[in-house]
Amino acid sequence: MIVQFGSARIELVLGDITVQRVDVIVNAANAQLAGGGGVDGAIHLAAGPEIMEELQRRYPDGCPTGSAVVTSGGNLHSRYVFHAVGPIWQGGGIKESGLLESAYQICLSLAEKHTCRTLAFPSISTGVYRYPVDLAAEIALRTVAVKLETSDQLDLVRFVLFDQGTFGSYARVLETMLI
């Protein structure tokens, strides 16, 4: 599914984020930048050990929730990996939505700063961090769409979704944005 926003596109695909050929692959990282399971583990495995070494060297104190840091792409087909730390879902009462929105905004700003035109995002915080997928999809897609409406640099933001349920949630939200 592809939708135009400004001069750029949002694309939804079902698949493996580690094989995407884009300028930036966004990793759903933890605050310690210590690697983990899910998307984080898959990206570290595919990228090779140099990314973990770079994270430890450049960001020994980790990364706060709602922010992101940059490394090289390692063995991936991307110039960079942005390690974005989304919030752990606690029921919605501790500003989780603002933190999730911030993680996406910072990644988009980093892309412009590093003259990147194409990004691949996972569904940040919806795995082990238990953020409800429908709510996360709304925040992610709205944040990206608003940025694309005003950006003259970004060409494509692809959401690479791991399972059919997550893809369906993102597709439903994106369809409602077109009405």
Q: What is the pLDDT of residues 44-61, one digit of tens each?
A: 999 999 999 999 999 999
DSSP letters, 64-133, are: -TT-EEEEE-TTSSSSEEEEEEPPPPSSS-SSHHHHHHHHHHHHHHHHHHTT--EEEE--TTSSTT---H
**Enzyme catalytic residues:** 40
Q: What is the pLDDT of residues 102-118, one digit of tens each?
A: 999 999 999 999 999 99
Mean pLDDT score across all residues of the chain: 95
